[in-house]
Amino acid sequence: MEWSEPGIILGARRHGESSLLISVLTRSRGRNKGLARGAARSRGRGAMEPGTLVDATWSARLQDHLGLWRLDAGTAYAALVLEDPLRLGCLEAATDLVDAALPERQAYPVVYDGLLAVLEALGRDDTWASLHLRWELDLLGSLGYGLDLAACAVSGVTDNLAYVSPRTGRAVSMAAAEGYRDRLLVLPRLLGGIGRTNDWSQGWDLIDGLALTGHFLGRHIHPDMETPLPGSRTRYIDRMTRLMAFSSGSSLQD
C-alpha cells in the first residue's frame, strides 16, 4: 500500500549507517513513522530535521509494517530559527510534544493546522509564542482533555475569570476562588482570564499559560513516567523565564 500527503517532520534518528527513522505528522493520517533509506548521507540531510514541511510518500507491503518514506523537502523552518534559542526551543518543544503525545496513525487535523501556523509564525513575526500556547490548549482538546475556560465552574459567571481548577480543568472566577487561590492555576489573559495583575506583562502571562497547559499535559501524557513531558519543553519554559527575569520581554509580545 502507498499514500502521499504533505506533512511536518517531528523527529529523525539515525538507523544504521545511512538511513533515518523519521516521524512525520500529516493532516489526515496523523503521526506516522517510516524509514528513509540513504537519507542520512544524501545531500538533502539538512532538511530532514524537525519542523520541515515535506511532501511525504509512505509505502509498505502491509499497513502494519514500519514502511518506507520518500520525502521531498519544502520549507525547513528550523533552519530559519537555528540561531534564535527561544524560537528554536519553541519549535523543538512543539515537535517533541506531538511525537510524545499523539498516538500513531490517528488523524488530528486541528493539531496539524495549529503546528503549521506556529512554524510559519516562528520565521515571520512575534505572534509565535501566543500561537504556541493556544496550540497546546487545542492539543489537549483534540486528545479529549479540553479545558472549560468559558465560565466559572462555581458561579457560572463569564467575567473576572482568574483561575483554573487543577483537578477538573474548569475556570474559576476571582470571587469564587477566595480562600482557594494558592491551590488553583492562574488563567492568563491570553486564554481569556484576567491574569495575575493588570500590569502583568504578556511574557509572564505566557509562562502562566504554559504552566497551565503543562499541568494537564503532564497528567494525561505518560503520567506514569518520572518526567512525562519532553525535556525540550521544560528547557524552553526555563529559558523564557530567565529572559523575562532579565528583560521586559518585549520579544515575546504579540
Q: What residues line the site for other proteins (CB under 8 A)?
A: 11, 13, 17, 43-44, 46-47, 49-51, 73, 75-76, 78-80, 82-83, 85, 88-89, 91-92, 96, 99-100, 230-232, 235, 239, 242
CB of 77 to other proteins, least distance (A): 8
53/140 with CB nearer other proteins:
53
- Using alpha carbons, list the distances in angstroms from residue 15 to 40, 51, 86, 155, 180: 8, 20, 29, 56, 52
119/176 with CB nearer other proteins:
119
Q: Can you list the alpha helix ranges (DSSP code H) found in 50-188?
A: 77-81, 85-101, 109-122, 128-142
74/146 with CB nearer other proteins:
74
51/114 with CB nearer other proteins:
51
CB of 3 to other proteins, least distance (A): 24
Would you tell me how many other CB atoms lie within 10 Å of the CB of residue 251? 13
d(CA 144, CA 245) in angstroms, rounded, equals: 35
CB of 12 to other proteins, least distance (A): 8
CB of 119 to other proteins, least distance (A): 12
In terms of Cβ atoms closer than 10 Å to its own Cβ (0-12, 13-18, 19+), residue 1 is exposed
100/164 with CB nearer other proteins:
100
Strand partners, 174: none
Q: Report which residue type is found at 163.
A: Y
Reading the block at residue 73, the C-alpha cell is 523537502
- Contact between residue 32 and residue 66 where contact means Cβ atoms under 8 Å apart: no
Widest CA span of the chain, in angstroms? 62
d(CA 108, CA 78) in angstroms, rounded, equals: 22
CB of 127 to other proteins, least distance (A): 20
CB of 239 to other proteins, least distance (A): 7
23/173 with CB nearer other proteins:
23
